[in-house]
Amino acid sequence: MDEGRQLINGRYRLVEVIGQGGMGTVWRGHDEMLDREVAIKEVTLPPGLDDDERAELSTLALREARATARLNHPGIITIYDVIDDDGVPIIVMELLPGRSLADILKEEVRLPYRRVAEIGRAALEALREAHAAGVVHRDLKPANILISDRRIVITDFGVAQRVGERTDEPGDITGTPAFMAPEQAENAAASPAADLWALGATLFNATEGRPPYEGPDHATVLLTLLTQDPPAPVRAGPLAPVITALLRRDPERRLSAEEVADRFAEILREEPDGATARAAIPQRPAIAPAATEKPAVSEKPAAPSPPKTAGPARSDEDSPVRKVPPPHRNSDRDPRIPPVDALPHRPPPAVRPSRVLAITALVVLGLTVLYTGIHAGSGHSPASAPAATPSVPLGDPLPTESGPPTGGEPPDDPDGFDQTAFSPDGDAVVFGGSSEVVRVYDTATRRLRRSWKTDGEIQALTFSPDGRTVAAALDSGSVDTWDLATRHKHEYSGIDEVVDALGYSSDGRTLTAVGTNGHIAIWTVRTGRRVASTMPSGCLGTALSSDGYDVACGYYQSEGGGSGIFIWNAKENRQRTSWPGAEPDGMAFSPDGKTIVFSSTRDGRLELWDVASHTKTIELHSSWVAPDGLWTAPEGGLVFSPDGRTLAVTSTDSSADSSTDEDIIDIWEIPGAKKTSAFRLIDTPKTLALSPRGDMLVIAEGHGTLWNLPAQKQLASWTG
């Protein structure tokens, strides 16, 4: 069909294409007889099909029309007409302005649990209406939930069946593997329980940012679905038990529709938090311009932004010792770049036509037999999950072989020096990295005090304010702390993305982790209670204030949005101020949290701003100028000394007469804006830290080095 043709059936005019899917094309149309807008769905038949295959696809479309036409509910699209247009079924239905949940998640990645509960409740009511009429949807997923300002509607009953029906052939699996129930993948008779599984998978996708089952192709997804239990939701809050109960493999053990409705009602009766108590689909809070009459120093225009969203931070009572399933990460990539699994996932297309699925089913069957054969006689069934690794309970001492030893000289470890931090008294430094080992060295004797193995690669390190505890963010999905005196380990869960900043509050009562995707977790150290907050965007770089609540985030918006920096208060869940146009290469808070320093342009200029008044106080030109006049700007290594009087800045000499880039560290006295020293490094620093008095600098650069700043003398070099 095309817009230039005559009226369809003498009545319906095509206006424009508004959607395309596995079953065909949807047009915006106009009903000339009743003078109203309609949606017109044309089944697209692939070329090369024989008569039987064409008839099969046509039958699926007619099945959708017949199944949906029997239903009359505000949560289900209304069918107006069905037309046989030269052998191709045309379905005319109501046109509902809005977006699919899949499109929303493509932009938002994940939604607050309360909004997900609202969507789930509406979808459940529509499903109950269909089930009461004896119809099972069999392809519920985010792409088939349409959301407008007034309604939440289920669409596309293209693979719907009457309760108790099966597909014609054993290999004819219908539906979308990432969201279908295990029994549906095995071609069991259609039942409402399969739709409830799909609802659970959809809720999982909306809260976690990905479906419960993923893979590069349908065969892999189906094999995983048939042989593995779904992962536990970690972001769903009070929805987590509902999702878990809906994703039980045994349909007899799943929650009933009535039980799910009761759970939704309980969750939605709770006092809504400010971030989710809105009728519209929630967006990430917008990056708003600074709330001040003083313009930010920038020649770049600020990116247009919708009104910013405010509300109190969300709290949960997650146990601090609960293990989080390890997220998918590439540990070799730049930690400033958001991980791939943080990006929106497009749900796999529905598996059609059936002849293709018959082949897929055979592949899955073969893989399943292979899987079963491998595990035969081992005491494991195909559905068995690996045994969980025992974790150390909160407050229990570490096993002796895993705990910090009293000393010793371990072998060289080039992967163990990615992160570093000074103890508050300056007597010790700590290192960690992808080798999963924490090392604490004495700065006076230069000897190793302690070292121990962790449960994952180390993304960030810090000391507690009293110096008794070391905290590390691990890629296993937790933040672990170790008491250096008692060897007790505490494990805090709740942030399953790459951690870019980790720190205690100045009073030591809270511990904060900031992820590259813009999520913040704040734990009360004594109880493990967590407060969560979500920033307007993922961050190319972050800085954490000493109170543990203010987070500076450097962002870049594609398609002309530009770059900038904003400060987010995690306690109040709102933006404090922003600097549109600033470069997010590097930023740091002063120890008192009153000043922020960042690189503002690519000419090497650094600016120090008073956060409260949004006033620039100092401007530094930190780049090293080569003889030929080439410059380099800071690369992210900005760090204050604990007393706030010294600032270390890294940059790179890329001069034309140099065969390789050389890294430089400038040391500045603040206040006074006086550069006291500048020296070159052989290797690129990954992280650095200044001693409390500002007289020593420690660098993690594939090995660890300790420097005396006044003398510009290296005091120690550690490799293991």
Q: Which residue bears the tokens 């922020």?
A: 596
Residues 68 and 160 sit within 8 Å (Cβ to Cβ): yes
User: CA 144, CA 7: separation in Å to the nearest integer?
Assistant: 28
- Residues for the chain: how many in total? 720
H or E segment and range at residue 106: helix 101-108
Cα 354 from chain centroid? 35
Both tokens of residue 52?
Answer: 């039987």
User: CA 601, CA 517: separation in Å to the nearest integer?
Assistant: 24
Is 139 one of the annotated active-site residues of the chain? yes
Q: Omega of the bond prior to 353 within 30 degrees of 0, cis? A: yes
Cα–Cα–Cα angle for 447, 448, 450, nearest 5°? 150
List of residues 6+ apart from 305 with CB closer than 8 A: 286, 287, 288, 289
What's phi and psi for 386, nearest 5 deg? -60, 145
List of residues 6+ apart from 221 with CB closer than 8 A: 177, 178, 213, 214, 215, 348
Minimal CA–CA distance to 145: which of 125, 170, 163?
125
Q: Omega of the bond prior to 671 within 30 degrees of 0, cis? A: yes
Residue-wise over 574-589: b if at least 16 C-beta within 10 A, else e?
Answer: bbbbbbbbbbbbbbbb
H or E segment and range at residue 195: helix 192-208
User: CA 289, CA 257: separation in Å to the nearest integer?
Assistant: 46
51: amino acid identity, one letter: D
**Which one-letter DSSP state was computed for residue 253?**
G
Q: Catalytic pick from 31, 139, 585, 666?
A: 139
Strand partners, 432: 419
Dump the DSSP string for 47-85: TT--HHHHHHHHHHHHHHHHHHHT---TTBPPEEEEEEE
For residue 636, count CB atoms less than 10 angstroms from its CB and return exposed for 0-12, middle for 13-18, buried for 19 or more: buried
Minimal CA–CA distance to 534: which of 205, 238, 285, 318?
285
The count of other CB atoms within 10 Å of the CB of residue 353 is: 18
Residues 353 and 479 sit within 8 Å (Cβ to Cβ): no
- The strand pair at 615-621 and 605-610 is best described as antiparallel
Residues 689 and 697 sit within 8 Å (Cβ to Cβ): yes
How far lies 482's CA from each of 389, 434, 463, 608, 612, in Å? 19, 18, 10, 35, 35
Strand 79-85: give its sheet, edge to edge: 12-21, 24-31, 36-43, 88-94, 79-85
Residues 524 and 535 sit within 8 Å (Cβ to Cβ): no
50: amino acid identity, one letter: D
The count of other CB atoms within 10 Å of the CB of residue 713 is: 10
Q: Number of C-alpha atoms within 13 angstroms, CB side, residue 398? A: 23
List of residues 6+ apart from 326 with CB closer than 8 A: 456, 475, 476, 477, 496
Alpha helices in 552-634 (DSSP H): none
Residues designated catalytic: 139
